[in-house]
């Protein structure tokens, strides 16, 4: 084993002890069993039930959003949010190339095309400066709409994503989006509990989305949510995610094409119990960050990613960033960590490199490509600290 991989393994062993240690596992130490039993006893286990309403209300209160609409997963939340933002077939939507595939998939579900942008090292998220320069180069305004001069297609939205729980420069993205008349839909799937200048991620744009997959900071098993401060959009989100069914005591009338995207009550019951513990989960993750920081502090060639200035991160996944001149060691470090029982993963393959998106428009991705080569996520479960 080379020096750098061996040194990183030893540093993590000082924090984690002996393996195996998973990358991220859920932590159930609250009212999960009681709420689930209550839900089963009520027989309301599908998309109607008291826990769904309660989870939405408590989620809105926690994030500071005026409205939260619970969905079956984060991808469905993003799909509906894009539709509500006005994305239409044939449009282009600006998304980070460095993101989970759901960000681009949701754009495709709308019949639109993802248009990939670069990321900045300090946040891992969309780079507002690069975004402004790229739009100035390739776009024009026609009848108040942003149009790609190369493809002739309307650019109808931008989707900043908060990677691994670290807030991107959403304020900067909002400023550039406003200059070009673009609605912002935040992909906050990984950043529940993360703040920018005291404001929760997912509440800056017209809409925001969350994920509660089994590996997220809280889980509903599978689930997601749409956040918005717009009452009309919230009502539309609830209608579209409930098969566009018109309320009636017995009639089955649907007034448009809808989606069977509402979160089941049994998942929401789990979510209510998890949300009660989120402050302790975040505190645990921040303690784990401090332990990693101490262990890795004297290791040359690698940095532990820190929350950007002016933000507070949930530290969902602890992230190592190899120095640029050590990028060729990434796979050796990953192999060494996994061989020693410490589950570790690289960042996602850039979306622009994936087969379904090869032909999509793209800005220069210098920063994203460097990040892809250097990022390593290490064990991050809330119970580890």
42 with 69, same domain: the answer is yes
Residue 363: pLDDT over 90: yes
For residue 261, what pLDDT is reported?
Answer: 98
pLDDT in tens, 256-282: 999 999 999 999 999 999 999 999 999
212 with 305, same domain: the answer is no
Indicate which CATH number applies to the domain containing 11.
Answer: 3.90.1150.10
| C-alpha to C-alpha distance for 357 and 221, rounded to whole angstroms | 29
For residue 4, what pLDDT is reported?
Answer: 96
What is the rounded average pLDDT of the residues 11-24? Answer: 96
User: In sequence order, which residues have a C-beta less than 8 Å from that of residue 171 and are 6 or more positions away?
Assistant: 196, 197, 204
pLDDT in tens, 81-112: 999 999 999 999 999 999 999 999 999 999 99
The last residue of one of the domains, among 248, 275, 302, is 275
For residue 48, what pLDDT is reported?
Answer: 85
Strand partners, 70: 225
| C-alpha to C-alpha distance for 46 and 39, rounded to whole angstroms | 10
Q: pTM for the whole thing?
A: 0.97
pLDDT band at 59 (very low <50, low <70, confident <90, very high): very high
Per the structure, the complete domain to which residue 18 belongs is given by: 3-24+278-384
253 with 295, same domain: the answer is no
Average pLDDT, the chain: 97
| C-alpha to C-alpha distance for 202 and 204, rounded to whole angstroms | 6
pLDDT band at 290 (very low <50, low <70, confident <90, very high): very high
The last residue of one of the domains, among 275, 291, 321, is 275
Cβ(234)–Cβ(69) below 8 Å: yes
Percent of the chain scoring above 90 in pLDDT: 98
| C-alpha to C-alpha distance for 75 and 300, rounded to whole angstroms | 38
Residue 2: pLDDT over 90: no
Percent of the chain scoring above 70 in pLDDT: 100
19 with 151, same domain: the answer is no
258 with 366, same domain: the answer is no
Longest dimension (CA), the chain: 69
365 with 262, same domain: the answer is no
Cα dihedral sign, 320-326-327-329: negative
Residue 385: pLDDT over 90: no
Distances (CA, A) of 309 to 167, 217, 247, 375: 10, 22, 47, 20
pLDDT band at 1 (very low <50, low <70, confident <90, very high): low
For residue 68, what pLDDT is reported?
Answer: 98
Residue 63: pLDDT over 70: yes
| C-alpha to C-alpha distance for 183 and 205, rounded to whole angstroms | 7
298 with 224, same domain: the answer is no
Strand partners, 34: none
Strand partners, 312: 195
105 with 221, same domain: the answer is yes
For residue 47, what pLDDT is reported?
Answer: 83
Cβ(103)–Cβ(185) below 8 Å: no
304 with 254, same domain: the answer is no
295 with 186, same domain: the answer is no
Residue 384: pLDDT over 90: yes
The last residue of one of the domains, among 275, 298, 316, is 275
What is the rounded average pLDDT of the residues 121-136? Answer: 97
199 with 125, same domain: the answer is yes
For residue 19, what pLDDT is reported?
Answer: 84
184 with 232, same domain: the answer is yes
What is the rounded average pLDDT of the residues 317-333? Answer: 98
User: How many domains does the structure of the chain reveal?
Assistant: 2
What is the rounded average pLDDT of the residues 21-32? Answer: 97
Indicate which CATH number applies to the domain containing 250.
Answer: 3.40.640.10
Exposure string over 132-162, b if 16+ CB within 10 A, otherwise e: bebbeebbeeeeeebbbeeeebbbbbbbbbb
| C-alpha to C-alpha distance for 204 and 312, rounded to whole angstroms | 15
| C-alpha to C-alpha distance for 282 and 313, rounded to whole angstroms | 9
Distances (CA, A) of 159 to 145, 183, 198, 282: 17, 9, 21, 25
């Amino acid at each position: 084993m080379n020096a750098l991989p061996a040194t990183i393994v030893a540093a993590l062993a000082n924090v984690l002890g002996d393996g195996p240690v998973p990358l991220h596992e859920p932590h159930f130490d609250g009212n999960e069993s009681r709420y689930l039993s209550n839900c089963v006893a009520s027989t309301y286990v599908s998309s109607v039930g008291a826990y769904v309403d309660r989870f939405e209300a408590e989620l809105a209160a926690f994030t500071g959003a005026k409205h939260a609409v619970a969905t079956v997963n984060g991808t469905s939340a993003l799909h509906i949010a894009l539709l509500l933002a006005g994305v239409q077939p044939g449009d282009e939507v600006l998304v980070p190339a460095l993101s989970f595939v759901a960000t681009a998939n949701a754009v495709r579900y709308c019949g639109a095309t993802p248009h990939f942008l670069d990321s900045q090292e300090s946040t891992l998220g969309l780079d507002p400066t690069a975004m402004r320069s790229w739009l100035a180069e390739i776009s024009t305004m026609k009848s108040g709409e942003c149009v790609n001069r190369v493809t002739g297609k309307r650019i109808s939205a931008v989707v900043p994503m908060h990677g691994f729980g670290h807030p991107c420069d959403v304020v900067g993205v909002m400023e550039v989006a406003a200059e070009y008349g673009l609605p912002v839909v935040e992909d906050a799937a990984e950043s529940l509990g993360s703040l920018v200048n005291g404001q929760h991620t997912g509440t800056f744009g017209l809409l925001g989305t969350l994920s509660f997959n089994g590996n997220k900071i809280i889980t509903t098993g599978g689930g997601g949510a749409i956040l918005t401060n717009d009452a009309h959009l919230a009502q539309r989100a609830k209608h579209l995610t409930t098969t566009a069914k018109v309320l009636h005591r017995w009639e089955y009338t649907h007034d448009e094409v809808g989606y069977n995207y509402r979160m089941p009550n049994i998942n929401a019951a789990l979510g209510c119990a998890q949300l009660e513990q989120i402050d302790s989960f975040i505190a645990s993750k921040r303690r784990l960050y401090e332990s990693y920081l101490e262990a890795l502090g004297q290791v040359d060639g690698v940095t532990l990613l820190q929350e950007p200035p002016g933000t507070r991160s949930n530290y969902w996944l602890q992230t190592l960033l190899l120095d640029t001149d050590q990028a060729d060691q990434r796979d050796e470090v990953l192999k060494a960590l996994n061989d020693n029982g410490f589950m570790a993963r690289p960042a996602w393959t850039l979306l622009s490199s994936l087969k379904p998106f090869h032909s999509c428009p793209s800005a220069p991705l210098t920063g994203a490509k460097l990040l892809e080569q250097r990022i390593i996520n290490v064990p991050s479960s809330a119970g580890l600290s």
